[in-house]
A and B are shown apart, each in its own frame.
Chain A
Amino acid sequence: MDMRPLPIETMHSDPKVAAQPARTKVTARDVNVFYGEKHALKSVNVDIPEKSVTAFIGPSGCGKSTFLRCINRMNDTVASARVTGLIEIDGQNIYDPKLDPVQLRARVGMVFQKPNPFPKSIYENIAYGPRIHGLFRTKAELDHIVESSLRKAGLFEEVKDRINDSGTGLSGGQQQRLCIARTIAINPEVILMDEPCSALDPIATARVEELISELRQNFTIIIVTHSMQQAARVSQQTAFFHLGNLVEVGSTSTMFTNPTDKRTQDYITGRFG
């Protein structure tokens, strides 16, 4: 079993990002996750740089979603889940007993596999987060947050005339962009995306991918995907998980052209999965 910490490739394929030295946003050291007796994630070590897109790839049940859910402590909601090891965001241990997981989730937003807007109006979907976190004082400020979130998610022009219609009445792709808008409305530092395009058609997928690339300017994004083409298109770093192990992590271009591990190579070339 490969236990040594894997160094992060700090050189980026994207020249824009590569211009500045990337700061590490999320650090994981020796992270293990157990679901009851099952050892779902085995000693994961990874550093995730700031303001870039990191893709987690790997076959089904390899632990990539499990690890993603550790980063905003969504695994806390699973009664049988147990997490050991250290995960830090900006050097702060997120499993510190003094840290409030609810506040953490305001800093680390999440977009899910299936679009899950609240069965409320589009406006209320966006306004809910700012409302519970007290991010505005006046109605005008809230209106501004809603509009700019929708604009950042590229949805404003499509929905501006029906902002009070139910969010569940939108198409699948629009719903997923609404969920992204809802997440960025509370201005998190990290956005976790768990297969955000798996329920969408190719055109909607392209729009969401485009959006992810734009959001990289301001947010640290971690995306779990089954599509290697998607990982190649949107990410700067890629981490490959297999059977609960983090097999290999590095810059996306290196991973797809010159993987060091045989398993990575087999997976990328479609030998298994």
Chain B
Amino acid sequence: MTDLTAQGGSAELPRVDFSGAEAQARVRARYRAEARFRAYGILALAVTTAFLVLLLASVVGNGIPGFFAHGFTTEVVVDRAKIDPEGKGDADTLRAGDYTAIARAALADAVPGIESRQLKKELNSLLSSGAGDALREAVVADPSLVGQKIPARFKFSDEADIYLKGTGTTVRSITETRGIATPSATKDDVTILVAANAFADDVAEIKAELKARADALTALADNRAARGATPESLSELRGEATALMARYTASATEETLDSKTASRLIAINGGVVKAEKITPTSIVGKAIIPLQSTADAAPGTWQIIVYETPEADRNINDRQVTFLERLKAKGQVENYFDLNFFTSGDSREPELAGIQGALVGSILTLLVTIGLCLPIGVLAAVYLEEFAPKNWLTEIIEININNLAAVPSIVFGLLGLAVFLNFFGMPRSAPLVGGLVLALLVLPTIIIASRAALKAVPPSIREAALGIGASKQQAIFHHVLPLAMPGIMTGTIIGMAHALGETAPLLMIGMVAFIVDVPQGLTDAATVLPVQIFLWSDLPEPAFQAKTAAAIIVLLGVLFLMNGAAIWLRKKFERRW
């Protein structure tokens, strides 16, 4: 049995030859294969990283503005007549006061001279419907402010905010030096005459714009025709294009500005006039901000202002842009980090909508989930792994647990609807029910992770404990379970992160409702972060896009924190043996 030949290998078997050309080719092929494999790996990693960076950049880029808001800053006198005319001074009265009126009065002071009802309405619409909230909170917190002059900041509406965030329009201001401008009136209809052909460039620009519009319409019509549209259906488009071309080619020098061309305004004598008709030497328009006088304006003291984006393509009209530009020029516009986003619930007004409701809803839901999942999951895993007899019944249970982990989450939602809401009659939209449903969803994950962690504990530890007279339960609870805990924790936190991001099952149990109030308990109506994101992403107001992205950042932040906690726990409790 032990007859080893001591001659250094067998003569009849082939020996490895490294010097031959074939062998060297084989070595080169092996090196190439290795290099290729490494290149594939790097490529896969690069593609993944690129997508991740793209995703994060997009979310962060869109979301960061969602955390900020623009406000109108000024100093106001907290007028007792407006908020507490009877002088009661108690919190309820102060809370019920009309702080919006104070905000509007302050705005009217900042843009003086607006008299027409229409203009006043448009000016007031720049403020959010919750513009007075911050002041209200301050006054309720400190009633001594009533009657005093204090600095205040009033939140702008979402349209004004979007304009101020720079996505509204480009404003181009040209200081004219070519002539003396003479306005005919200080308000309403104003005609401004200039000596030189100061507006010739503008007329030419408008004509060029008309041609561009006509070309675009023709191209659109051609495109549709190429796709099989009937000439009749395109007649309107083509007619409009022909009309525009006619205006472009006409030698007439008077042009009418409409809401589809860039807006032109004249800032003169402290006022602003929006142009409606323009010739090289005159402008006819309406005053937005009244002029101080009809005196001649010297060259260089007046400007032509162009709002590049046509009025029809904006959410905010020329008059509102003018008001905002005026406030900006006076330094009364402030961009600030909006804590309100974290301290208020949902709202129909994007600038007032916050995620606290969803965040608290998520936390309450996850508390229920972890409170159920951790003990049940870990004990189930311990029983199955350590105590259960290995027979067909436990085998079936094991297979089913693995299958449950793959069941689509919406099915758990329907189960929750049928069992918890319809059979047990639990409240709709409640974190309690949400937590129960998510617990069903996460339980298989935790059981599987816990069993894997228990399996990874070397049997020598069990034997060591049993060998000195520990019972099986003592061996498991004193030695095996503590060693498996980092793995169990990691599995649990990953399961919780999964639950945190889950939307579908919660839709089924009514957590998709519009809920303004922050939930105070497990049975209050609530929503959760991913559902809030889903709800906001569906809303038509453009300002909700930023809010959606901001909520995604918060959700990702919470997920990163949870995963970080998982890594930290694993590192902290990891034991070597």
Interface residues, chain A, CB within 8 Å of chain B? 72, 74, 77, 79, 102-107, 109-112, 114, 116-119, 128-129, 132-133, 168, 179, 182-183, 185-186, 272
- Cross-interface CB contact of A129 among B460, B468, B577, cutoff 8 Å: B468
Instruction: Please report the number of residue pairs spanning A and B whose Cβ atoms sit closer than 8 angstroms.
Output: 76
Give CA–CA (A33, B576) in the complex, Å: 35
Contact of A112 with B479 in the complex, beta carbons under 8 Å: no
Give CA–CA (A119, B478) in the complex, Å: 11
Give CA–CA (A105, B470) in the complex, Å: 8
Return B212 CB to nearest CB of chain A, in Å. 76
Give CA–CA (A203, B236) in the complex, Å: 102
Residues of B within 8 A of A186 (CB): 468-469
Return B576 CB to nearest CB of chain A, in Å. 6
Residues of B within 8 A of A185 (CB): 468
Contact of B461 with A77 in the complex, beta carbons under 8 Å: no
- Cross-interface CB contact of B469 among A77, A105, A114, A179, cutoff 8 Å: A105
Residues of B within 8 A of A111 (CB): 467
* Smallest Cβ-Cβ distance to B389: which chain A residue: A79
Is B402 located at the chain interface by the 8 A CB criterion?
no
Is B464 located at the chain interface by the 8 A CB criterion?
yes
Residues of B within 8 A of A182 (CB): 464, 468
Give CA–CA (A70, B365) in the complex, Å: 52
Interchain residue pairs with CB less than 8 A apart (24): A74-B463, A102-B469, A102-B471, A105-B467, A105-B470, A107-B469, A109-B468, A109-B469, A112-B460, A112-B464, A112-B467, A116-B460, A117-B464, A119-B575, A119-B577, A128-B465, A128-B470, A129-B468, A129-B469, A133-B469, A168-B576, A168-B577, A182-B464, A183-B467
Chain B CB count within 10 A is highest, among A79, A106, A128, A185, for A128
Contact of B390 with A106 in the complex, beta carbons under 8 Å: no
Residues of A within 8 A of B462 (CB): 77
Write the B1-42 contact mask toward A (1 if CB under 8 angstroms, else 0): 100000000000000000000000000000000000000000
Give CA–CA (A111, B576) in the complex, Å: 20
Is B474 located at the chain interface by the 8 A CB criterion?
yes
Give CA–CA (A186, B470) in the complex, Å: 11
Contact of B468 with A119 in the complex, beta carbons under 8 Å: no
Contact of A114 with B460 in the complex, beta carbons under 8 Å: yes
Give the dominant DSSP class at B's interface.
Answer: helix
Give CA–CA (A68, B575) in the complex, Å: 31
Contact of A109 with B478 in the complex, beta carbons under 8 Å: no
Within 8 A of A (CB), among B549-577: 575-577
Contact of A118 with B474 in the complex, beta carbons under 8 Å: no
Give CA–CA (A87, B447) in the complex, Å: 40
Q: Decide yes or no: A105 and B576 within 8 Å by CB, A74-B463, A112-B463, A132-B474 being known contacts.
A: no
Q: Decide yes or no: A110 and B471 within 8 Å by CB, A79-B389, A79-B390, A118-B479 being known contacts.
A: no
Return B506 CB to nearest CB of chain A, in Å. 41
Residues of A within 8 A of B474 (CB): 132
Write the B58-100 contact mask toward A (1 if CB under 8 angstroms, else 0): 0000000000000000000000000000000000000000000
Is B131 located at the chain interface by the 8 A CB criterion?
no
Contact of A116 with B478 in the complex, beta carbons under 8 Å: no
Give CA–CA (A105, B458) in the complex, Å: 20
Return B32 CB to nearest CB of chain A, in Å. 43
Residues of A within 8 A of B575 (CB): 119, 168
Residues of B within 8 A of A128 (CB): 465, 468, 470, 478
Contact of A72 with B470 in the complex, beta carbons under 8 Å: no
Residues of A within 8 A of B405 (CB): none
Residues of B within 8 A of A79 (CB): 389-390
Contact of B463 with A116 in the complex, beta carbons under 8 Å: yes
Give CA–CA (A36, B469) in the complex, Å: 26
* Smallest Cβ-Cβ distance to A270: which chain B residue: B2
Chain A CB count within 10 A is highest, among B466, B478, B479, for B466
Q: Decide yes or no: A77 and B460 within 8 Å by CB, A119-B483, A119-B576, A168-B577 being known contacts.
A: no
Return A77 CB to nearest CB of chain B, in Å. 7
Give CA–CA (A273, B238) in the complex, Å: 101
Residues of B within 8 A of A72 (CB): 467
3 shortest A-B CB distances, which residue pairs?
Answer: A106-B469, A110-B467, A116-B460
